[in-house]
Structures are given as structure tokens and as C-alpha cells.
Amino acid sequence: MSIQKHIPSLYIHIPFCISKCIYCDFNSIVMKSQIVDEYLNAIESGLQAINGKYSFTTVYIGGGTPTVLNEIQLSKLLNIISKHVDVFNLKEYTIEVNPGTLNDEKIFALKNSCIDRVSIGIQSFNDKYLKLLGRIHTAKEAKDIFSSLREKGFEDISIDLIYGYPTQTLNEWKTDLRECLILDPEHISAYCLTYEQGTPLVGMTDSGKFKKLGEEEELNMYEHTNDFLGNKGYKHYEISNFAIPGKECQHNTVYWENREYIGIGAGAFSYNNGERCCNIKDVKEYISAVKAKKNLICFSEKLPQEKRASEILIMALRMTSGISEKEFFNRSGCNLTELFGTQLNILAQAGLINFDDERVKLTRKGLSLADSVMMEFV
């Protein structure tokens, strides 16, 4: 009898959406119903291949929009996962949902499948900005879906919000946060709008249709978010993530702590035995490769020790708890001070990094300039 290897997390990618948002550069496509069932069969093949090899602590179904699947397809997906993964012994089982793609029947399917955490992509409670982004729901629909999930017994709900829209004011963002808090979610992710090359948002900005907010305006929104949510009892545990203590996202913490995970689906990443790899991104090509039993990997790398150490530090600094020198050594096999002492001293003198209780972590100022700080360790 083979012994299962414990891998902290399993990610399952559902790449389908009703429409693409103007800022989105995720591996997602507008849904064409004829390939959904084929894709679900490919997901089953992937799970079948690892069944019995690994045990998991968390499972995360992301996308795309997993709940864009119809009721029969969603039930099929959840049954496939239950068939090949021990969902009863998970510590966290999350699915991403979008308002406008959920109904009572789908919510019951989620509840009956052992899913205990739902992450809702609301993004804004202002219909003007929802329309700008190309979202398919209204603020009212978002609130109604949250209430429906609560009524059906979900006690761990996360809300995704975005700030920093073209023309958005600080007062409008304050209103969004207040609206969010009325719902009383256990977890909030608040991201500044990013302008990714190749997205319609960048094209619209380059053509002069939109004007990007200034850095100072974005920073004021970030600072207000930290203060407001902190005063309301939310723990700021990662650059963009806030939770009621004990409700931090365990799955995402695996990524930030550079621990191992398996990814199933088109474009999904895995990190196992020191090697990171990515599946074929094109959905049709992925399905064809699964059917033909061909290699699914389109990219893989095994970082040399110092580059891996750099990555471990960069990811750990995303967490407000940072990392201790001992943890760093245990994860990387390198001495933190020997490897990065010069950079750490310069950043500490600039007030961007703290050494508290032998832990290295970003200061409040460092959190707001995190991207620049991280570049020092690349």
C-alpha cells in the first residue's frame, strides 16, 4: 500500500466567464457551452491521476467564474472533486463566485458538497464602476447574493473589492467599504486596480478614454482601508487581505509561505519537490492533450537555491507577520543576514522594514511601497 504525500493545497481552475472584464488578464475565456463538459471530463482525468498519491488540507476552486457553470455542470464538478479528494477532512474548501451567476439551486449544491468558504467577486458597490469594469451584476444583486449565502448557512464568506478606478474619489471608496461592512463578511480582499498590458483597460487609458488615478490618491485609499478595517476588528494579515482573526485564507497563505500545492486545469500552476510547473493554458489544447494522454506541462522551473531564497523572502514579506531568521533558514537553507543583510539594513534605515522579535517584516510605510521594497531582493 503506497503512502500518501501530504501537499497543503489543491487548486482547481475553471476558466469560463460570461464576459471578460476590461482589467482581467487571468487565464479565462468567454464560455462556449459545448466544451464545458469536455473540460470537466479533463478535470476528472487530472484528479484521477493524483487520487491516492496526495492528501490535502485545503481545496480552492477558482477561475474564471466557477459558478458560470449551469446547475447540472456545477453539480458534476463538485461530485468529481468529492469522488477523488477526501473533502470531509479538509480544513478549508473554497469556491469563487460572482453575483449574477448564482441562484438558490447552485447555492444548495455548494452547501451539500462540503464547501465551507465562499469568495464573492463583488469589486464595487457603486453601479457606475461595475459598469465601467464590465461586470454583469449590480450592487443590489451583490448584496442579495451575500444574504442568500448567509441564509443557506455559509459562515465564512470573503468579499473581493477593487479601488483606484479612473475618476474614483476617496469618499466613493469610503462608501464602498461602509457598504461592505454592513454585510459583515469574515474576510475582505481589497486590491488596487492594476493596468495589465494587453487588457482593454490599458488600451482605453492609452487612447485617452480613461485617466489613471495618481499614486498619492491610490495611497490615500490604501491607508484609509488599513485604518478603517483595522478599527472594525479586521486583522490586516497580507498586503491586500483583511480577516476576522482566525478567518485568514489558509489556501492563499500556502502560496505566501512558499509551501507545496497542486494545480489541476488549464493554466494551473503546481509546486512540488522544489519544481514549479504550469499546465497548457489554451483550454481546447489542454482538453486535447488530456484526451491524447500527452504531457500537460507547458513550463517548468527548478530555481537555484539563492533565487528560491529570494522568492521565499519576497512572498513572506507580503504577510504582515513577516518571517523569522530561523523560518527563513528552514525553508531556504540560507542565512538571511548573509544573503540580504545589506538590503535589509538600507531598508530598515529608510523605515520600510522592521526587525521585531527577530522577525523581518514590512513597516506600515513599507506595506504601502511593497512593490519597490520587494525589488531589492530580486
C-alpha span between 378 and 213 (Å, rounded): 27
Cβ neighbour number for residue 375 with a 10 Å cutoff: 10
How confident is the prediction for the chain on average, in pLDDT?
91
Quick: pLDDT tens for 165-183: 888 999 999 999 999 999 9
pLDDT of residue 299 exceeding 50, the answer is yes
Task: Give dist(CA 18, CA 103) in Å, integer.
Answer: 15
Residue whose C-alpha cell reads 475618476 in the numeric block? 167
> In whole angstroms, how far apart are CA 226 and each of 41, 143, 221, 368?
43, 23, 9, 10
**At residue 54, what is the residue type?**
Y
Residue 258's contacts (CB-CB under 8 Å, 6 or more residues apart) are 271, 311, 312, 315, 316, 331
CB atoms within 10 A of CB 112: 12
- Nearest-5° Cα angle at 31, 28 to 37: 105
What span, in angstroms and rounded, lies between the C-alpha atoms of 249 and 243?
8
Render pLDDT for 12-53 as a digit per residue (tens, 0 to 9): 999 988 765 555 555 556 666 669 999 999 999 999 999 999
5-256 has which CATH code?
3.80.30.20
pTM assigned to the model:
0.93
Domain positions in the chain are 5-256, 322-375
pLDDT tens for each residue of 255-277: 999 999 999 999 999 999 999 99
